[in-house]
Structure 1
Amino acid sequence: MTPPVTTVSPTAQQPATELPADVTALLATARAQVLVEGRGLDEAQVLAVLELPDEAVPELLALAHEVRTRWCGPEVEVEGIVSLKTGGCPEDCHFCSQSGKFDSPVRSAWLDVPSLVEAAKATAATGATEFCIVAAVRGPDARLMAQVREGVAAIRAAVDINVACSLGMLTQDQVDELVAMGVHRYNHNLETARSHFPNVVTTHSWEERLDTCQMVRAAGMELCCGAILGVGETLAQRAELAAQLAVLEPDEVPLNFLNPRPGTPFGDLPVVGAKDALRAIAAYRLAMPRTILRYAGGREITLGDLTEDGMLGGINAVIVGNYLTTLGQSPTTDLAMLDRLSMPIKSLQATL
């Protein structure tokens, strides 16, 4: 068991505020249940955390950081992603500028195998252990599977890094083929709570996404399955999704925050507030104490100067570099942040 590190969140360094008795009791229960016993919070408890007042956020983040270091250790897993097939997707995920159904500036394009290999090499040079190949599709056709097969083989021959994929919904045969290729982890997000999903996507169902996740888990690949927050869901639905993810038990949960894209149905939605984002990070950590909880898209505009508070509030993985259609921070900026926080990068051997 890894002892907690002593680093404290900048937010937690603020002068202590006497909290209401019910808030103190909630945090004490969470400490005993999650930190000591290792049992994640249930849906009702997660909702209570999401509803905590701003003055409780420093203590909440400090607890989530202790939970992370106790049950996951001090290391941070670093990942890079690249788009193999961009744009032209037939699905109508209302947050996504890659949908062919919306009047967005993203146009369809393919990346060749040599470019995939170069992107994997650049990712490995940052110290990353994971490189994810992403395609904007409902699910892979024969052409895409052939391109992935060739790309995975070329990457594994050229660079020492785990290869992950995110190719939409899969059949059992496709799951088996990815396993045979040596794909380490598969990403397929549930995106939002089951009760809210029809307001976000209409061209496929939440249950279809869950089916792919369950097949991936049963086949022995690691499962990466996460969320995008700020797509019109209520706090109760954020708690609902945390509980649904906890039941699924993914190896990794990426947390995305909506970066409203022009031309999409959600292009005018507000950005999630920084304190709400921090509460969500801590709540998801307390719901899933042993899961890799990864900073993903939208963190830069959502958290800004409070990004480090999230790292010290339950996050233990980051995507470095750009995302699929939006810009992220430079890898050197993120790596400097980890160095400043005395957070070691997880080694490749530790992920095997």
Structure 2
Amino acid sequence: MTVPSDRPEKSSPPPPEDAVPAAAATPYEAIRAIPVRHYGRWVAAVVVVVLLGWLVYAFSQGDVIWSTVGDKLFDTQVLKGLWHTVLISVCSMALGLVLGVVFAVMRLSKNPVTGGVSWLYIWFFRGTPVYVQLLMWFNLSLIFPVINLGPIYKNDTVAVMTPFVAALLGLGLNEGAYMAEIVRAGIQSVDEGQTEAAHALGMTGARTMGRIVLPQAMRVIIPPTGNEFINMLKTSSLVSVVQYTEVLRATSDIGSESGAVMEMLFVASVWYLALTSVFSVGQFYLERRYARGSLRSLPATPWQKVKANLSTLRRTKVA
């Protein structure tokens, strides 16, 4: 048997300084990171700048009266056409969005009749050009001279199918077919467990779709919807075929009267670029709003990017 001793244990003496390795005594050398030279980027940048300069020089030397572009940019007739462009685009997009939600839900229904009707609608309006659909609505009176809904409504088709109505139906119904597929993809992106949980809590199908599925599907629906609206804004230039005076028709009329055809086309291009730029900013903030909860950090706004770049420049100057 070993008897414990009351004596304190002897601690081992520290190693002598000579025994410490020399490598541990000297600090590590700083790593010199040499950036990789990307000469191809510089070459590509030079080529692009040269091409842009050549393009600007070519247009500056062309037979274009640029003063006419500036004078006609805020012409009363042009601004009226601009308002008509925004009006028909917003109304057609609203109609297309409502139809898209309705036919998307019909497409996903287990009812074979509603599913078949939805598929037929999408097949027809996506498969025929917008230009043809506009002409069909505008010339509807050749088939139905009178719109007769019995005791509800009766009138001549020519009086009903005004240029605005023809443009609204042509653009809105066509857009509804595309929006139906976008909404359907957004609905199917939501996990089926969400629907099953809502049904287990006693929620009806309509309430589940309105309060559970669609709010989550908006994250998928919003980005392509913004792109569709910008595309609709440019496609609205086709409604001039049904005698609807939008910005392109207004500028074309002025160009035909004054002989400044190319100048007025430049005016129309400037306004289309301005409209698409404004609505693109709105699309960015809308996407940013619906991205809350799905991203760890929201994308920086343009103003936040400017502030970050300014602070970086200030730190660089101080350093």
Structure whose residues are more often helix by fraction: 2
Structure whose residues are more often strand by fraction: 1
- TM range, smaller chain: under 0.3
Ranked by relative contact order (alpha carbons within 8 Å, sequence separation 6 or more), the top structure is 1
Bigger Rg, structure 1 or 2? 2
Q: TM-score, normalised by structure 2?
A: 0.25
Q: TM-score, normalised by structure 1?
A: 0.23
